Structure 1
Amino acid sequence: MGVIIGMDPHKRSATIEVIDEVGRMVAVGRFGTDRAGYAELLAAGREHRDRVWAVEGCNGIGRHIAHRLVHDGETVLDVPAKLSAQVRVFATGNGRKTDPVDAHSVALAALYAPAEPGLRRVQVDGDLVVMGLLVDRRDELGRARTQTLNRLHRLLLELFPGGAKRFLSAPQARALIATTKPRDLAGKTRRRIVVELIGELEAIDRKIKTAEKDLAALVTDRGSTLMDLTGIGPTGAARLLADVGDIHRFRDKDRFASWNGTAPLDASSGNQQRHRLSRAGNRRINRTLHIMAVVQLRNPTPGRDFYRAKKAGGTPSLMAMRSLKRRLSNIVYARMVADQNRRDQNRATGPGGQRGNDSDSSATGSQPHTGTSDKPLPGPAINQRRTLAPAMS
């Protein structure tokens, strides 16, 4: 009889509950995440021969322990926090949130998750892990640059009437501060802090340049052509590859759009048929697609033509942008599928093997086109009990 081991992970502890195939509790436990605690956790799990681990938030707080389990040959499913929260709300206990309750909800969510599309099985790809770490670092550097630039603008406003230009680079700021030499103590202090901030800005810019160079090399070495699409640079391509993982886990472009939040939500009522913007989905990928859309609107691209055609037909600006992002989601999906198929074929044929056909990628192109109307979120899947994966001893 197979079991599911639901886990509520934290930085220094993990609470588990083991349930059988009909949802009855078999065992519970709380373990540390240090070496000794993890060894006890793994030993407790391996007492059950046919087992599947269900870990909440494998892209967040649960990633460290999920990857350790996969490394040790265990089968791990990623349970989204929103899914386990829904189970907890409908359980007895008035939705109270404790570690044992969370572990129970995670286990039940894995047991009764829809068979299609189902929960994602965690797989550790070393290249994607490195890519994810670097793109997270690039995002942190971007936020640090914005904060430093805001501080710089605030002080320059006190030194120069009207302040500095909006889009200010470090060399421009250094040239500007060289034109003033305050004589009062407050002015001298402001100028000194500005010089320090300019130095910090220059250091951050150097780190960003290095990070983007490293990301571009990783994306290219993986055989991805995402950077060929207008509006996707090294950071966007790396974010897509790291967060998506295996693109084939999405059955079609509609599932991918639902996952990244570009598929519209059905908001029809009676005879009124309409859709509204989705606030769900992976917001980091949604942001990547939004940046892609903005870049296309700023350049003479078919994407801009598509947007203008929507507006000319009476579509409001926000809805036209939503339609453009959905089209771009379809294009990104097709490109990633083509890249993955080519990568799989090259891996199968080995060095010197015949390369896969990239006609799907070239036929789809890098720009949207005006065609059929956008599809909303795919219909609900039929809920049924999950068939447990075979044990990995």
Structure 2
Amino acid sequence: MTATLPAPQPTIIVGVDAHKDTHHAVVLDSTGIRLADRKFSTTELGYRELLSWSTRFGLVDRIGVESTGTYAAGLTRSLRTAGIDVMEVNTPHPHTRSRKGKDDAIDAEAAARKVLAGEAVAIPKDTTGTVESIRLLTVAKSSAVKARTACLVQLQDVLVTAPSDLRERITAATGRGKATQCAALRPDRSNLDDPYQAAKFTLRCLARRVIELEHEIGEIDCALEELVTRTAPTLLSRQGIGVSHAAQFLVTAGQNASRLGSEAAFARLCGVAPVPVSSGKTSRMRLHRGGDRQANRALHLIVVLRLRYDARTITYMERRRAEGLSKKDVMRCLKRFVAREIFNDLKTDLTAT
């Protein structure tokens, strides 16, 4: 009697167009034939239903997902936990949209076809570790700093138009000092129809808000310092790299920094990859203007600080200037070097973590 082997499962590719409340999925077979599409809710139950529904058509090879860092962050975590290979997909090109139109099913199919064609090879960031906690704290700090700055500007503006005797009572030279003095004002709440009392009340409200925000920023800084010091000790040991800069590089690279493949990829992500801009007799390079601009800003500040205090960096600047390079060109070289150093330190720290 001859045993009959079960037929192998067909391989399928899934594409997902992500939104705030729903995700639309499309299934393709290995030859690119569209098999089915369906919409799911953005809940844990919806994520499980999407995976269960996909497996009805065959063995899931890869899933291409749009917005893995925003709308599809929860779905990405759920799929990776289930052992599914998730590929990050960019939004469709405008030419594709102009030819085929746009709706959720079309976008999901375009995501699946990019994965099938090998165009989508980027691995999403891992948002289940300490680096995600650092990112969230960084978001909170950035918001608090912007709010504090806005309050200080408003406080200064109100002082400019306040009654003269009230304005002359606030003698501090700095914004923080003015906020401290204004916080001690005692307006007459029963007489707020008087602009003098209304000005005192407004100044006290703004000043207390500034002080509360500074306390909040201090708490976030303490939490960030603890997390960053534990996560990236090698990176923090480098000259010119503080907690805020290290936190930014961790967020830019992600918990799974190895997904970038090389330090050149990290440099491009930070906007410091050299790009040729030669023409005729002119031969020169500039830096790629894309990437994470906050990481690029951090690199620039590190180079500026090292040019003041690091003997090795100062010597390099003098040598390259003697070779005929401008200061701006030498700083571009230094930013590229610092990006290489940071990437290697990140790999060391995150591997240990």
Classify the TM-score, shorter chain: 0.7 to 0.9
Choose which of 169, 187, 195 in structure 2 pairs with 1:186: 195
Q: Which residue of 2 aligns with 1:52?
A: 62
Alignment of 1:168 onto 2:175: yes
CA–CA separation in structure 2 for the residues paired with 1:305 and 1:144:
41
CA–CA separation in structure 1 for the residues paired with 2:79 and 2:155:
46
CA–CA separation in structure 1 for the residues paired with 2:350 and 2:97:
44
Alignment of 1:241 onto 2:250: yes
Choose which of 254, 264, 273 in structure 1 pairs with 2:274: 264
Alignment of 1:27 onto 2:27: no
* 214 and 305 in structure 1: CA distance in 2 versus 1, 3 angstrom threshold: farther
Q: How many angstroms does 1:304 deviate by?
A: 5.5
Q: How many angstroms does 1:17 deviate by?
A: 1.6
TM-score (norm 1): 0.72
Question: 1:225 aligns to what SS in structure 2?
Answer: helix
Percent identity of the aligned residues? 25
Q: How many angstroms does 1:242 deviate by?
A: 3.2
Letter of the 1:216 partner, please give it. Answer: E
Q: Which residue of 2 aligns with 1:207?
A: 216
Cα deviation 1:149-173 (Å, max 9, x = unaligned):
2222222333459x9999632x453
Letter of the 2:113 partner, please give it. Answer: L
Q: How many angstroms does 1:10 deviate by?
A: 1.0
CA–CA separation in structure 1 for the residues paired with 2:150 and 2:65:
35
Choose which of 217, 225, 246 in structure 2 pairs with 1:216: 225
Q: Which residue of 2 aligns with 1:155?
A: 158
Q: Which residue of 2 aligns with 1:134?
A: 137
Question: 2:25 aligns to what SS in structure 1?
Answer: strand
Cα deviation 1:331-372 (Å, max 9, x = unaligned):
21122233345x17xxxxxxxxxxxxxxxxxxxxxxxxxxxx
Q: Which residue of 2 aligns with 1:323?
A: 333
Considering only CA atoms, is the larger Rg found in Structure 1 or Structure 2? 2
Q: Which residue of 2 aligns with 1:359?
A: none
* 123 and 338 in structure 1: CA distance in 2 versus 1, 3 angstrom threshold: closer
Choose which of 115, 124, 140 in structure 2 pairs with 1:110: 115
Bigger relative contact order, structure 1 or 2 (CA pairs below 8 A, ≥6 apart)? 1
* 315 and 195 in structure 1: CA distance in 2 versus 1, 3 angstrom threshold: farther
Q: Which residue of 1 aligns with 2:21?
A: 12
CA–CA separation in structure 2 for the residues paired with 1:128 and 1:235:
13
Q: Which residue of 1 aligns with 2:263?
A: 253
Question: 2:59 aligns to what SS in structure 1?
Answer: coil
Q: Is the 8 A contact 1:19 1:27 kept in 2?
A: yes
Q: Is the 8 A contact 1:56 1:106 kept in 2?
A: yes
Choose which of 270, 273, 290 in structure 2 pairs with 1:280: 290
Alignment of 1:101 onto 2:106: yes
Q: Which residue of 1 aligns with 2:7?
A: none
Choose which of 300, 317, 334 in structure 2 pairs with 1:290: 300
* 179 and 293 in structure 1: CA distance in 2 versus 1, 3 angstrom threshold: farther
Letter of the 1:53 partner, please give it. Answer: I
Q: How many angstroms does 1:11 deviate by?
A: 1.0
Q: Which residue of 1 aligns with 2:234?
A: 225
Q: How many angstroms does 1:270 deviate by?
A: 4.5
Choose which of 14, 38, 52 in structure 1 pairs with 2:47: 38
Letter of the 1:292 partner, please give it. Answer: I
CA–CA separation in structure 1 for the residues paired with 2:272 and 2:338:
9
Cα deviation 1:89-146 (Å, max 9, x = unaligned):
453743744322221222222233459xx31155443322222221221222222222
CA–CA separation in structure 1 for the residues paired with 2:117 and 2:86:
16
Q: How many angstroms does 1:305 deviate by?
A: 5.6
Q: How many angstroms does 1:39 deviate by?
A: 3.8
Whose helix proportion is higher, 1 or 2? Answer: 2
CA–CA separation in structure 2 for the residues paired with 1:295 and 1:313:
23
* 248 and 142 in structure 1: CA distance in 2 versus 1, 3 angstrom threshold: same
Question: 1:205 aligns to what SS in structure 2?
Answer: helix
Count residues with an aligned counterpart. Answer: 333
Q: Is the 8 A contact 1:225 1:339 kept in 2?
A: yes
Letter of the 1:175 partner, please give it. Answer: Q
Q: How many angstroms does 1:53 deviate by?
A: 1.5
Question: 1:94 aligns to what SS in structure 2?
Answer: helix
Q: Which residue of 2 aligns with 1:388?
A: none
Q: Is the 8 A contact 2:21 2:42 kept in 1?
A: yes
Q: Which residue of 1 aligns with 2:4?
A: none
CA–CA separation in structure 1 for the residues paired with 2:101 and 2:319:
50
Question: 2:99 aligns to what SS in structure 1?
Answer: coil
* 210 and 309 in structure 1: CA distance in 2 versus 1, 3 angstrom threshold: farther
CA–CA separation in structure 1 for the residues paired with 2:200 and 2:310:
44
* 188 and 313 in structure 1: CA distance in 2 versus 1, 3 angstrom threshold: farther
Q: Which residue of 1 aligns with 2:6?
A: none
Runs (5+) with no aligned partner, structure 1? 345-393
* 105 and 276 in structure 1: CA distance in 2 versus 1, 3 angstrom threshold: farther
Cα deviation 1:296-337 (Å, max 9, x = unaligned):
45x423446655665676655554443332222122112223
CA–CA separation in structure 2 for the residues paired with 1:150 and 1:235:
24
Choose which of 134, 146, 159 in structure 2 pairs with 1:143: 146
CA–CA separation in structure 2 for the residues paired with 1:305 and 1:334:
23
